Chain A
Amino acid sequence: MVTPEAAEEAVSCSIERLGNVPRPGRLVALKTKDEVRAALETFEAYIVGVSAKFAGAILNVIRESLPDLKTAEFQHLRRVVSFEYLPQHLQTRFGIIRYPESDIRDETDGFTALTRAEIRYLLVSPITAISQSGLIEVLAKKPPFLDASALPAVFTIPVPALAPTSAEQAAQWTRDFWPISYKNTNPYGPHPSLVARNTADIEEGAGTYLALAEAAGEQISELSLGEKVGCVIVDKTGGDEQIIAVTGDCRWQSRNGGPMKKEEPGNVMAHAVQRGIAMVAKKRLRVAGTNPESISSSKVFCDSPLTDHEKHFYSLDNIPPNGYLCSELDIYITHEPCVMCSMAILHSRFRRCVFSRRMPLTGGMTAGVGSVQGDGSTAVVRNVSGLGHGIFWRPSELNWKFLAWEWIDTDRLDTYLEVKDTLQA
């Protein structure tokens, strides 16, 4: 959480003069497409309860009987669990079962009720590995079930199919499914330490840039030339942060420069992100000594600055001439960018992306059934599904990836930055 005061200190004097008040809030890293998939996929597994002293022997007989069982595929699931570590619902379901014990015979019925401390619950295998009757047959070959007068108790439960991607998720799954082990790695997205480092790096300035993006969208909207969507492009590679471009949406500007009749979809190529990327390119040309206006470009791209904010930041020669596209740059956007703009950000090799309001019907960044939890006090709790593209991190399919966050504004209600829900930002 960043207080407005702390964020204000991070503001460069040029923004202060523009009357920019940082937004209070915090960053939540987006889940990747694969993380979302991993969070949803489960399989059914057999659980067998047995006295602790037989746990090893039972696992051995299972290994011998199921030689093709790939235990590496469910390494994230604890194999042997005592009663006290079971999730609440399984404690209730398993209860205290009476188990046949070949060596401790009850006088009356040949069973002994194992105390909770003695029982171990074994995760045997996915149910696809063996039938339940087959499993019982295997178990009955060895003590304690050998010669026992009752069959072993076999349960079937759902368990997460893939490894957890964070400690929080592991803890959640341990409560919801079965005890999970977590090895501080993330095969389905950016490594947690990478996310943490980058979150810390940009958290202080994010509220400032988002407030500026909001103002950029408002300025153009006041001219009736666009929707209230804005973006800010920042270079934070050096010690001092540089704002490279500030743009608003310009979809309602007609060919002659004035507002056009607002008939959907308007000029799609004049979305705020497209204009921001175009201004970065023009600035690079200019800094390298080429007049960007000499490179023929259509007015339809709306890539010249229109408002005070846009003009101010476009005029600064604060970008290295030798950079490649938008690599090393960060982009802050008031709304989750549409699929076109999300891919434009990827094509432009951006380093990091932050947006404020989710666009479940049109956004290209979020990876799917998203649930952002509030911190219990002031944060907005949103629970929405999306298109599921997760364009920022699909490294096995797309040829670039970057880190992306959603900004949870602590100050406003859900109406903050509200737009028509079908808007393509």
Chain B
Amino acid sequence: MDEEEKVYHERFMREAINMAELALASDETPVGCVFVKDGEIIGRAMNETNRTLNGTRHCEFIALSQILSTHPISILRETDLYVTVEPCVMCASALRQYGIRAVYFGCWNDRFGGTGGVLNIHSDPSVDKPYPVYGGIFREEAIMLLRKFYVQENEKAPKPTQKKTRELKTDILPLDIHSPKS
């Protein structure tokens, strides 16, 4: 990826990070995304699983619902996704069924990642066209947001937690988020 391209992708990942920060401030899992067509953001969202009591309301789904309320489904074939955390298996499959053009993400998700973290739903045999994925854009920032969230949740927990777990760790290697499995 040359410098010009890098600047282009980072611009949109910054927007996705902003959505993740909004999620953190709203007590939602800090994952955010933007969908981009021809250099324009056509949808942006954060996770909303807590507010909706619906475990499927990931930011990708929310943004897709916005886009499809005004655009035809076929627009997704010329659209790229920028998301702070690797799409889960569910979202990875939805994106492939919709025919997304490419996916750019921040950190990997080794609990249910669908584009390399756990499974390879973007490229496995399927009746739908595969799509390319590019991970690691602002990876540290994406992880820091998740860490802040876990600290925040621990502080809200009714039971007193050990002081150690409440400290914000600054090294970037949490247990549940790491590089793709070989």
Contact = CB atoms under 8 A, between A and B. Distances in A.
Interface of A: 255, 263, 265-269, 274, 277-278, 281, 284-285, 295, 297-301, 325-326, 338-341, 343-344, 346-349, 361-362, 364, 387, 389, 391, 397-399, 422, 424
Given A277-B56, A387-B124, A301 B93 contact: no
Interface residues of B, number: 36
A347 B90 contact: yes
Interface stretch (B19-27, B46-54, B139-147, B155-163): B46-54
Given A300-B69, A397-B118, A344 B64 contact: no
Contact of B127 (A300, A349, A361, A399): A361
B112 A255 contact: no
Interface stretch (B1-9, B78-86, B94-102, B166-174): B94-102
Given A325-B53, A346-B89, A387-B124, 5 more contacts: A265-B98, A284-B53, A300-B65, A340-B97, A341-B90
A387 B118 contact: no
Contacts of A326: 55
Contacts of A295: 51-52
B28 to A, nearest CB: 13
A347 B126 contact: no
A214 B127 CA distance: 24
B97 A281 contact: no
B75 interface: no
Contacts of A267: 68, 73
24 contacts: A255-B69, A263-B73, A263-B74, A265-B98, A269-B64, A269-B65, A269-B68, A269-B94, A277-B54, A281-B52, A281-B53, A295-B51, A298-B69, A300-B64, A300-B69, A301-B61, A325-B53, A339-B93, A339-B126, A343-B114, A344-B55, A348-B55, A362-B126, A422-B127
B55 A277 contact: yes
Nearest to A295: B52
Nearest to B91: A340
A347 B61 CA distance: 14
A267 B97 CA distance: 9
A274 B65 CA distance: 13
* 6 shortest interchain CB distances as A-B pairs: A298-B65, A343-B90, A281-B54, A340-B93, A339-B93, A300-B65
Contacts of A398: 89, 111-112, 118
Most buried by A among B64, B65, B92, B97: B97
A340 B54 CA distance: 15
B151 interface: no
B94 A278 contact: no
Contact of B126 (A268, A274, A346, A387): A387
B93 A338 contact: yes
Contacts of B124: 387
A68 B73 CA distance: 61
A389 B119 contact: yes
Contacts of A266: 73
B90 to A, nearest CB: 4
A278 B112 contact: no
Most buried by A among B93, B98, B112, B118: B93
Given A343-B114, A397-B118, A297 B56 contact: no
B69 A343 contact: no
Most buried by A among B61, B66, B118: B61
B88 interface: yes
A422 B125 CA distance: 12
A15 to B, nearest CB: 26
B103 interface: no
Contacts of B119: 389, 397
